[in-house]
Structure 1
Amino acid sequence: MEQDEQGLKRDLFGKNFYWGITTAAFQVEGSCDTDGKGASIWDEFTKKKGAIKDAQHANTACDFYNTYEKDIELIKQLGIPNFRFSISWTRIMPSGTGAVNQQGIDFYNRVIDLCLQNNIEPWVTLYHWDLPHELELKGGWTNRTIVSWFSDYTKVCAQHFGDRVKNWIVMNEPMVFTGAGYFLGIHAPGRKGLKNFLPAIHHAVLCMAEGGRVLRRMVPLAQIGTTFSCAHVEPFSNKPRDVAAAARADALFNRLFIEPVLGLGYPSKTVSILKKISKYQRPGDEGKMRFDFDFIGLQNYTREVVKYSLFTPYLHARLIKAEDRNVPITTMRWEVYPPAIYHILKKFNAYPEIRNIYITENGAAFPDAISENGEIHDKERLEYLQETVGHVLKAKNEGVNVNGYFIWTLTDNFEWAEGYHPRFGIIHVDFETQKRTIKASGKWYSNFLNHR
């Protein structure tokens, strides 16, 4: 699908469509132990040998903790009306529970107030993967007590920021932080196996719903949502076993967390191993898993092609790598496939229980080259964003209830286990000097939003 710059206009989406940009605390803030901040699981994980590409860490990252004024000024300069960022749990409660760190509260108050002064609406994510290390020592997401810990943390945030923050996101991509962190061990805290993964799934679902209930009580006029990572899944062939394998992968990638929140339970009929979650369920949990969110955030970057595999435990499905399919790929080795977002929107819109959908993350990592005159012509990223926005419009025109689009991400940052290698930002960061340079994609987004 191609969209020329003349054909893709902001007005086509309507006046009430939310356009924004997204960041995450651990990936941009730095100042990892400044002003009373405690250690998170990612602070500890980056110390592990071989855990992060090139042994990189986020101790400084983009230095947003010290440069937030300049970065918010850049958002204003680009004319982006909504800024989604996350709160660092350990900046607010250094040990995860108990004492509240006033310096952390003060920092986020400054960020929120500066956004509002510049007519930028703050969208706050409560949990974007940086669990307090002290809570991990007590079992982290495998310990059911985390529902109480998370509830207390949510209450503190609602108490201090709820008078000004009207848009809340409870959790970011639970499938990724449980799957990569508690099953595969490639993300913090580095745990592996079903004995960690299954309880982490259930407790994350309970926390999502409980966080929503806390916010509803304390900030009754707020718009409350939560976000899910989504991959458009296609079978490698029309053979029944490939089609069935794709259905199992889809259940794991796309249905595992949204369906229990909607009151539909876990998709254990499709992926039988999920029946073992019942070991961690207690009477009354079915009701506690449900919450009527005002919106669901979808985060999509690519599609996955799936083939039957006898040798993949539990799922009997394997992903066919993009580089083996002779398709264009990003720095993350993901297929460049903008139509994925259209298919994902149609899929989630089919749930009658979902009231409203926003794309809360979408973007692409490509190598950036700075020209002699200091400009960055990131043609691949620009075209990817244009085409993806075009597919969002196509879905909207077909009746999908999608009412927002947020780019990942504002500035190049610490991209978890991949370190600083993948660059997703519409603003380039020189990590040695912290110099910011707006890329061509950032200029396009600004022109698009401001009718230029």
Structure 2
Amino acid sequence: MRLWQDPQFVFGVATSAFQIEGAVDIDGKVESIWDTFCRRDGAIADAGDGRVACEHYRRWEQDFDLIASLGVDAYRFSIAWPRIISDVDGRVNQQGLMFYRQLLEGLAERGVKAYVTLYHWDLPQFLQDQGGWLNRDTALAFRHYAQVAASELGDLVQSWCTLNEPWCSAVLGHWFGVHAPGIQDRAAALQAAHHLLLAHGMALDALRKNAPQAQHGIVLNLSPYYSAAETPGDQAAAEFAALENNHWYLQALLQGRYPQKVWDYYDRFRPAICPGDMEIISQPLDYLGINYYSCQRVLACEPTDVDWPPYKVQEPASNVPVTAMGWEICPSGLTDLLQQLHREYRLPPLLITENGMASDDQLFDGAVVDDQRLTYLQQHLSALERAMESGVNVRGYFAWSLMDNFEWAEGYRKRFGLVYVDYDSQERTLKRSGQWLQQRLLERKQRGVV
């Protein structure tokens, strides 16, 4: 595969702060909306929380040795906003900055590039108390946080990401209510989405001023939307689903507008937009990150309520391979998605910033044989290769995730890691999929590709 031969192509693994760090109230860290959400009855499938997680806060050196042993070029991780900013007045927690500087220095010592995400869903609770992403001032608070992080840590960061998956923060957090802060309101979801994108644009300016040597971008979760049947109604439904879930974010970021069909359909829920907002949102990107897990198959339907869309997503057929999350394994969808975006937009360079699957992994005799995940990774890397051969400019690939962790509303029931974590002992075991990736990457280095 050509991407294994390209010395400029970046291979990495990814995590996020709340999912692995633990230490939620240590060294000046304040509460996030996920700390609060985890205390809500029934919010987390196994009643878990992030208080311990993978104990990365104190085991990071061991974890970084493991990362280095994989032979990856880069590590993508997030900074916890509530570990850096302590109150609504923007007071900086120096202990939090020291922790992340320690991490960045540890990566540099091991020759691993740092790809840092500023927001992976853990909004400080003190900002939620002021309205959270429904309050325009939260975008200003995010700009301040970005300025602090970039000015204090930017000399050790190769790539900054403003937001991870704003769709999840807006839709899962404010419409479906299954993620923090647990709001169920369509108008709130659209307003939150706009303020998230506005925060991204405001943060870009702060990042570029304080860390001009780095790359700056955003990460979206995207899927191809296929019609479940070749009928005009289902095809129109699939088009609308793609506009609502993909292009609402893509058109805003790349073209400075929201899709007209979606804007018209949700006319009574339209977000408040101030003059100049779309210009702030659509500033040029150094890269666009794409998180890809599965495809979606869509049926047309008559909505039972005005705040619901005119489609529904079909469950995978019984003969279709799925992950432990119930998501269809659809490697060809990655090729289709990338080629479609390449045709429709003038794109910056792309990164596949997350790709992976949940599997029912078990530790037996000191080993985890996760052949389904190994095959998944191989198939998706081949799908990525096909897209690149057709002209799509992809510069890197990050496997999700480095290790099993707190999987948000699923708690600890779903395992996405290349590394198995025993949550009782915190012992780490490299799974067969991780061993395969390690072998390929070390062979690549031995050939002098990097």
List per-residue Cα deviations over 1:134-179 (Å, max 9, x = no partner).
1001000000111210110000001111111121011100001110
**Which of 245, 252, 255 pairs up with 1:260?**
252
2:277 partner amino acid: D
Within 2, Cα distance between the matches of 1:264 and 1:353?
13
Q: CA deviation at 1:329?
A: 1.1
List per-residue Cα deviations over 1:343-363 (Å, max 9, x = no partner).
121122224431200000000
Within 2, Cα distance between the matches of 1:46 and 1:312?
31
**Which of 232, 236, 243 pairs up with 2:228?**
236
Which runs of structure 2 are paired with 1:140-155 in the superposition (5 Å)?
140-155=132-147
* Residue 27 (structure 1) aligned with residue 39 (structure 2): no
Match of 1:349? 342
* Residue 316 (structure 1) aligned with residue 310 (structure 2): yes
Within 1, Cα distance between the matches of 2:233 and 2:390?
32
- CA 210–312 in structure 1, closer or farther in 2 if over 3 Å, else same: farther
List per-residue Cα deviations over 1:287-306 (Å, max 9, x = no partner).
12211010000001001100
Within 1, Cα distance between the matches of 2:122 and 2:89?
14
Match of 2:319? 326
* Residue 299 (structure 1) aligned with residue 305 (structure 2): no
Match of 2:164? 172
Within 2, Cα distance between the matches of 1:284 and 1:299?
29
Task: Give secondary structure in 2 for the equivalent of 1:205.
Answer: helix
Match of 2:111? 119
Q: CA deviation at 1:276?
A: 4.9
- Check the 8 A contact 2:3/2:385 in 1, yes or no: no
Q: CA deviation at 1:96?
A: 5.1
1:119 partner amino acid: G
Which runs of structure 2 are paired with 1:182-221 in the superposition (5 Å)?
182-221=174-213
Task: Give secondary structure in 2 for the equivalent of 1:254.
Answer: helix
- Check the 8 A contact 1:426/1:441 in 2, yes or no: yes
Give structure 1 regions of 4+ aligned residues with deviation exceeding 3 angstroms: 8-12, 273-279
Match of 1:383? 375
Task: Give secondary structure in 2 for the equivalent of 1:269.
Answer: helix
Q: Identical aligned pairs, as a percentage?
A: 37
2:25 partner amino acid: D
List per-residue Cα deviations over 1:104-125 (Å, max 9, x = no partner).
0010000000000000001100
- Check the 8 A contact 2:243/2:262 in 1, yes or no: yes
- CA 325–271 in structure 1, closer or farther in 2 if over 3 Å, else same: farther
Within 2, Cα distance between the matches of 1:312 and 1:174?
26
Match of 2:447? none
Q: CA deviation at 1:198?
A: 1.8
Within 1, Cα distance between the matches of 2:37 and 2:135?
19
Match of 2:448? none
- CA 102–37 in structure 1, closer or farther in 2 if over 3 Å, else same: same
Q: CA deviation at 1:272?
A: 2.6
1:210 partner amino acid: M
Report the TM-score when normalising by structure 2. 0.95
Task: Give secondary structure in 2 for the equivalent of 1:45.
Answer: helix
1:449 partner amino acid: L
Within 1, Cα distance between the matches of 2:57 and 2:124?
18
1:38 partner amino acid: V
- Check the 8 A contact 2:320/2:328 in 1, yes or no: yes
List per-residue Cα deviations over 1:254-278 (Å, max 9, x = no partner).
1111211112411132453344565
Task: Give secondary structure in 2 for the equivalent of 1:444.
Answer: helix
* Residue 135 (structure 1) aligned with residue 113 (structure 2): no
* Residue 336 (structure 1) aligned with residue 333 (structure 2): no
1:371 partner amino acid: F
**Which of 67, 71, 91 pairs up with 1:79?**
71
Q: CA deviation at 1:325?
A: 4.8
- CA 124–28 in structure 1, closer or farther in 2 if over 3 Å, else same: same
Which runs of structure 2 are paired with 1:359-398 in the superposition (5 Å)?
359-372=352-365, 374-398=366-390
Within 2, Cα distance between the matches of 1:327 and 1:31?
40
Task: Give secondary structure in 1 for the equivalent of 2:149.
Answer: helix
- CA 405–97 in structure 1, closer or farther in 2 if over 3 Å, else same: farther
Match of 2:100? 108
| RMSD (CA atoms) | 1.4
- Check the 8 A contact 1:95/1:133 in 2, yes or no: no
- Check the 8 A contact 1:72/1:114 in 2, yes or no: yes
Within 1, Cα distance between the matches of 2:102 and 2:155?
14
Q: Which runs of 5+ in 1 are unaligned?
A: 1-7
List per-residue Cα deviations over 1:225-245 (Å, max 9, x = no partner).
110001121001111111111
Task: Give secondary structure in 1 for the equivalent of 2:398.
Answer: strand
Within 2, Cα distance between the matches of 1:381 and 1:51?
28
Match of 2:396? 404
- Check the 8 A contact 1:428/1:438 in 2, yes or no: yes
Task: Give secondary structure in 2 for the equivalent of 1:60.
Answer: coil
Report the TM-score when normalising by structure 1. 0.95
2:118 partner amino acid: L
Q: CA deviation at 1:210?
A: 1.2
- Check the 8 A contact 1:248/1:271 in 2, yes or no: no
Aligned residues: 442
Q: CA deviation at 1:427?
A: 0.2
Q: CA deviation at 1:451?
A: 1.6
Within 1, Cα distance between the matches of 2:333 and 2:125?
36
Q: Which runs of 5+ in 2 are unaligned?
A: 445-450
Q: CA deviation at 1:129?
A: 0.3
1:403 partner amino acid: R
1:334 partner amino acid: W
Within 2, Cα distance between the matches of 1:400 and 1:146?
35
